[in-house]
Structure 1
Amino acid sequence: MKNEKEAIVKQTYERLIEAWNQRDAKGMARLFTENGESIGFDGSQSKGPKEIYSHLRPIFKDHPTAPFVSKVKEVRFLGDNVAILRAIAGMIPPGELDIKPDVNTHHTVVLLNNVCDWEIDLFQNTPAQFHGRPELVKKMTNELRGSFNVPISGD
């Protein structure tokens, strides 16, 4: 049962990443609870599906957003109906073949199990800049490259 719940939680996160990669603001917003909150890489906050959609729509419309590559690091249950998922993510800019390390990020997702499905109550996208510790940036980047068969460069 726990493995099944964990798989569903991971699938919800994967749908979030897929919606970002498809530049689908409605698809992303639809994954959140009515009071769900999204905290972006730049610290911007949006609350509730309507506000999340309104925030993302112009970003996808006006900017060539880079797709995410991600790796789930942990799923932890705080009860039958609450889970925390932690992942790392990087981006491969349009027209590029490799991850751009200076936009690596930690994803923290709090999910709630309602009657129908797991929904996102909090998505936080925290920069993983590791100030003064370039070896940690390189380690994270290489871990992401290895997860998605991106060649490991000599950076």
Structure 2
Amino acid sequence: MDFYSPDQSSSTDENRVLALYQKVIEGWNKREADLMSEPFAPDGEMIGFDGTQFTGKTEIQKHLQEVFAHHPTPSYVTKIRSIRRLSHGAMILRALAGMIPAGKAELKPELNAHHSFVVVRIEEVWQVVLFQNTPAQFHGRPELVQQFTNELKTML
């Protein structure tokens, strides 16, 4: 899977934010709860596709262990839309996300989502404070679902 690559003018901070996001996505795709939860701040939050909220690295990690133990999770395909600074010590990454169900080769448009990924620098270490996975279902607008899916297909 290809990921957004900051160009040479990109900041070191952008690269760090991107690396954290990639680690979270890699953790999901490898079904490794420890890897996925590691970048979160102790009080970081994760809001799942269904709206369920988890607070704290430990709660996130425990939830992911349960998910990976009991469900054949689909793999993410992502495309970075932007990485920008909110303040000196805070940044946001926005991405498109699609999923390929286990044993399949194609994206499942019903699982398309927008990712919002907020990180802050705590004692000189960038940590995830919010990872929100919002459905991109575009009710009544199938052309937008297709456009979104087609954009993600370029990342395969």
What TM-score, normalized by structure 1, do the two folds share?
Answer: 0.91
Say if 2:82 is the partner of 1:78: no
Deviation of 1:45 (Å): 0.8
Unaligned runs of 5+ in 1: 149-155
**1:33 alignment counterpart:** 41
Correspondence 1:4-153 to 2 at 5 A? 4-148=12-156
**Amino acid of the structure 1 residue aligned with 2:111:** V
Deviation of 1:140 (Å): 0.6
- Whole-angstrom distance in 1 between the partners of 2:25 and 2:125: 17
Cα deviations across residues 31-73 of structure 1 (Å, max 9, x unaligned)?
A: 1101100000011111001110111111000100001000110
Count of matched residue positions in the alignment of Structure 1 and Structure 2: 148
- Whole-angstrom distance in 2 between the partners of 1:46 and 1:143: 29
**Amino acid of the structure 2 residue aligned with 1:124:** Q
- Whole-angstrom distance in 2 between the partners of 1:24 and 1:95: 18
- Whole-angstrom distance in 1 between the partners of 2:127 and 2:10: 17
Deviation of 1:117 (Å): 2.9
**Amino acid of the structure 2 residue aligned with 1:121:** V
4+ runs deviating over 4 angstroms: none
- Whole-angstrom distance in 2 between the partners of 1:115 and 1:22: 29
Unaligned runs of 5+ in 2: 1-8
Aligned with 2:79: secondary structure?
strand
- Whole-angstrom distance in 1 between the partners of 2:10 and 2:73: 35
- Whole-angstrom distance in 1 between the partners of 2:29 and 2:102: 11
What TM-score, normalized by structure 2, do the two folds share?
Answer: 0.91
Deviation of 1:7 (Å): 1.4
- Whole-angstrom distance in 2 between the partners of 1:89 and 1:139: 13
